[in-house]
Amino acid sequence: MTFHYIVSVWPDGCPDPNVYPPKLVVALEVRVSTNEAPTVQSLVQMVLSSYDIPVAKVVRVVDSAGAVAHVWNPLNTSTF
């Protein structure tokens, strides 16, 4: 099964994400062997590590159905 996501990242130190656009926007196509969608945490970790972003202020993940998950300080796993 294939899942599609748009991941927007405001790295730490960026101005207010409610006012300014993200510094990075990534379109992801994730293929899995089961019908279970990947977790928001795994998507965020994949994007941050791929683009060498150590800390993000805000990460917004939007799936193909339009559902939005806001993740504040994604390196602190207690925020997921």
Query: pTM, whole model, 2 decimals?
Result: 0.76
Question: Residue written as tokens 């994730």?
Answer: 30
Buried/exposed code over 6-44 (b: 16+ C-beta within 10 A; e: otherwise) = ebbbbbeeeeebeeeebbeebebeeeeeeeeeeebeebb
3-state secondary structure of 79: helix
Per-residue pLDDT tens for 17-65?
778 888 899 999 999 888 888 888 888 888 888 988 877 778 888 888 8
